[in-house]
Structure 1
Amino acid sequence: MILVAILRSLENGLFRILSSDNYLIHLGAYLHHSEIKAAQGIKISAQGLEHAIAGTALHVVGPHDDLDEIKETAMEDMKSVMNRIDKSGEGVCVQASTLGSLEALLEFLKTPVVNIPVSGISIGPVHKKDVMKASVMLEKKKEFATILAFDVKVTPEAREMADDLGVKIFIADIIYHLFDQFKAYIENIKEEKKKESADEAVFPCVLKIMPNCVFNKKDPIILGVEVLDGILKVGTPICIPQRDFISIGRIASIENNHKPVDTAKKGSKLAIKIIGSNSEEQQKMFGRHFEIDDELVSQISRNSIDVLKANYRDELSMEEWKLLVKLKKLFEIP
């Protein structure tokens, strides 16, 4: 729980303060001053001061003041910051040296260009308890098991625990540098997920067999095709909807003007090689299982759609997403 310390004035109406402006201290006693001018560095001694939050306003409670009312006023800044925490419970943890720094960081993270959700906040050095709080995201969303530490130190114990648990801690004295570090980290995670799910990602495409372009009728089937719609990629499983969705194999290679390519867009005319599965199922053959007028369609599934949404959302245009929806209905995928 975060508390704001409310300091009561002493009987003489003054706080016990220690000036750092070349004043002497004898035997650990404080020097009392009746007046302190602006810009002088001072230290304040009071009960409960360890709960005070750096950067919050200092309120003096007089004999006739309403303490509860002043407490509520003192907490307004903190409430404003707490309201910026993502209500979904998913997001990074952010840590700063003062409340003002924390507010600046939160304001930056919520801008549309950045848009990084925050699930927890703290002020001061990063301790083990902060790492434990961030580690909750390991079970929810791994990339958010992260602490963005702005202008604060990380204790050795916290660093060790973070390494053991897999919590990432990014440190910087400039807000933009924190964002750059986190952005690079997210991009690396995305690339890893893409590699892991590459075999399951099926991009939507519709192909037309071109006349006089059947170069090999059986495994491997080699055809000249035109991409009528969508995006064709090496590894895409192909089926024939007009023939009860019969599967004829996967795209093993693509050639455009006799040059190998990994992908092709709508309107492209190229040669493809289709290899059958390694199962004992009968290998498909042109002229027996499908004809030149049959359209070739990527064989999508519920799982392949989910993989595209999770890891390849930015790689599909709006038109290609519309084709995916159309194919989803064609395959009667819930």
Structure 2
Amino acid sequence: MVTRQPIISVLGHVDHGKTTLLDNIRGSAVAAREAGGITQHIGATEVPVDVIREICGDLLRGVQLKIPGVLFIDTPGHEAFTTLRARGGSLADLAILIIDINEGIQPQTLESIEILKSFKVPFIIVANKIDLAGKFKIDKKKRRYRFLEAFNEQNEEMKQIIENKIWELIGELYKHGFQADRFDRVKDFRRQVSIVPCSAKYGIGVPEIMMLIAGLSQKYLEKKLEIDVKGPGKGSVLEVKEETGLGTTIDVIIYDGTMNVRDRIVLGGKKGIIVTTVRSLLKPKPLDEIRDPRFKFQHVKSVAAAAGIKISAPDLNDALAGSPVYVANEDPEDVIERVKNEIGKIKITTEQTGIILKADTLGSLEALVKIFTSKGFAIRKGDVGDVTKTDVTEAISVKKKDVYKGVIVAFNVDVLKEAEELAKNKEIKIFKDNVIYKIIEDYELWLEEKREEEKIRRQLGIIRPGKIQILEGYVFRASKPAIVGVKVLSGEIKPKLTLIKEDGRFGGEINSIKSKDNFLSSAKRGDEVAIALNGVTVGRQINEGEVLYVDVPEDSFRRMKEIEIDESEKETLEEFLKIKRKENTLWGV
């Protein structure tokens, strides 16, 4: 068994400095000019252990590093992170979450946090752009230097500004379920997230970032990083690409074993399992060797984990990004079954009433399923690819059973024209975005609006309980119609509602409600208004000081649980029910 390089993903909100950090690490490694320098892989950059030592300097003094280096996934962001999968989890062993220290947690930061949580990937936080936090002194002669060195050169005011911003970030992270602290104050790396203040632009904090990655990998991931380098290769498809002269190729990150030219490989396809033979394994040529873009790759005979490689092979047109890729020279049937099971665990096809999820890769589908399920949303179908007419038809049948679930979530995919037309005609809502967090937010907002609409619709058909008292000395007219001043004791009253007395007899029909010179459509608890009553005469059927109840129809009484009523309305309803059941013991049953 040998120890492979840990695979590192870089995540964070747009413009928070993901690419700048990777560029700085790459630039630092190139400048170090150590044995071998950096190796450019397909979709990844390998930084060997000698370069890590050079970057970290005496931060690693006395530390025996067993890892051969680290492999950074070049494509920053959660798209690459979710695409790269291994054994039902993330391919990344560790992640760097970049946060602009001046902007704090943003929507895509939240998205990254949700994804890291759901895949249980350990991470460190790089609090970037400290150089923009105020009048920060920078030594521009240095390509990179330690944060603590830079921090100690600042005046007291600047130090306080940085400290305050770190404390704000710690507070924000706490709200999202993480205990965090500045890296040099962390006492338990298993329980606390390390924050490295940094300026990716000027290389401040890069030594500490590399020290943490190397140290944490070695201390906590040693077992995970042990591989049988001579075993069959295992990898994950990062991207499916057309290449001039090669046709359809797949970019793969190999995380275990070795892959050779002419190996038989098994991977997932849009229409089923693909079994094919490796025609070529390609790595990028060093930048200074690229003269002609048609010859930008160099052929290799084999590649061992961890590595990024381009595979050229027949029948890759329908290859699925995020699919596992396994070498299967000896027992292809067993491997085919394994790939089927792995993909089957992510793709969902059920008969339950739930939403339909469509995503661009298996990894992003897996992230969607995890996050939607964790929020308690039922899923009927989860698949990879554009939204089709079949998806809309399925959503229509769900909508008939549950209007809130008959929707489609489309992450980073298109909606085919015929599907769009059918959805429009049948009023099927499609939530389309390339940010998972935004899709969930939009769906939750839509649910809220729909439920509010439904609540109002229900309430329109239900007569609420109401109780009034005729005020003494406020009889303006005795009959035809009787006009009296009343106080609404609970619930509400509206024109056209019938009132009954405490003995169950008729108490008049409300003709109109008036306050000062204005006619009202309703009056609620606490209001004092004048009402005109048909069918009664003051002094005969009704009297001053008397209490009257809204005569709630039996159907409305039975449906009362569909609407929200307050405690005083509940009491009034109980009193009203007693009045009704004096005449009919089964009333409202």
Shared topology, TM-score over 0.5? yes
In 2, Cα distance between equivalents of 1:171 and 1:102? 14
- Larger RCO: 1 or 2 (CA < 8 Å, sep 6+): 1
Please state how far the C-alpha of 1:16 moved relative to its aligned partner: 4.2
1:205-220 equivalences in 2 (<5 Å) = 205-220=466-481
Please state how far the C-alpha of 1:160 moved relative to its aligned partner: 1.2
Partner of 1:57: 324
Change in CA separation of 1:159 and 1:216 when aligned onto 2, cut-off 3 Å? same
Check the 8 A contact 2:466/2:549 in 1, yes or no.
yes
Please state how far the C-alpha of 1:220 moved relative to its aligned partner: 4.1
1:304 aligns with 2:556: yes
Change in CA separation of 1:76 and 1:210 when aligned onto 2, cut-off 3 Å? farther
* Equivalent in 490, 497, 502 of residue 237 of structure 1: 497
1:291 aligns with 2:543: yes
Change in CA separation of 1:190 and 1:245 when aligned onto 2, cut-off 3 Å? farther
Partner of 1:173: 434
Please state how far the C-alpha of 1:148 moved relative to its aligned partner: 1.8
TM-score with structure 2 setting the length: 0.43
Please state how far the C-alpha of 1:304 moved relative to its aligned partner: 2.7
1:204 aligns with 2:465: yes
Change in CA separation of 1:217 and 1:193 when aligned onto 2, cut-off 3 Å? farther
Partner of 2:68: none
Partner of 1:122: 383
Please, which moves more after superposition, 288-297 or 320-329? 320-329
In 2, Cα distance between equivalents of 1:175 and 1:321? 43
In 2, Cα distance between equivalents of 1:150 and 1:223? 62
Q: Secondary structure at the match of 1:284?
A: coil
Check the 8 A contact 1:110/1:116 in 2, yes or no.
yes
1:333 aligns with 2:588: yes
In 2, Cα distance between equivalents of 1:205 and 1:190? 25
Please state how far the C-alpha of 1:196 moved relative to its aligned partner: 5.1
Root-mean-square deviation (Å): 4.2
Change in CA separation of 1:253 and 1:136 when aligned onto 2, cut-off 3 Å? same
Please state how far the C-alpha of 1:124 moved relative to its aligned partner: 1.5
Partner of 2:261: none
Please state how far the C-alpha of 1:271 moved relative to its aligned partner: 1.1
Partner of 1:103: 366
Q: Deviations over 1:113-156 (max 9, x none)?
A: xx544333222210111111111134223343321212211111
1:228 aligns with 2:517: no
Partner of 1:90: 353
Q: Deviations over 1:216-242 (max 9, x none)?
A: 33354433333333x215347242153
State the identity %.
23
Please state how far the C-alpha of 1:4 moved relative to its aligned partner: 8.8
Check the 8 A contact 1:125/1:153 in 2, yes or no.
yes
In 1, Cα distance between equivalents of 2:370 and 2:550? 44
Check the 8 A contact 2:281/2:301 in 1, yes or no.
no
Change in CA separation of 1:98 and 1:78 when aligned onto 2, cut-off 3 Å? same
- Number of paired residues? 304
Matched letter for residue 224 of structure 1: G
Q: Which runs of 5+ in 2 are unaligned?
A: 1-268, 286-292, 581-586
Check the 8 A contact 1:222/1:271 in 2, yes or no.
no
Q: Which runs of 5+ in 1 are unaligned?
A: 26-30, 277-282
Larger-Rg structure: 2
TM-score with structure 1 setting the length: 0.69
Matched letter for residue 391 of structure 2: D
1:276-287 equivalences in 2 (<5 Å) = 276=534, 283-287=535-539
Check the 8 A contact 2:486/2:528 in 1, yes or no.
yes
Matched letter for residue 324 of structure 2: A
Please state how far the C-alpha of 1:273 moved relative to its aligned partner: 2.0
Please state how far the C-alpha of 1:9 moved relative to its aligned partner: 6.4
Please state how far the C-alpha of 1:167 moved relative to its aligned partner: 1.5
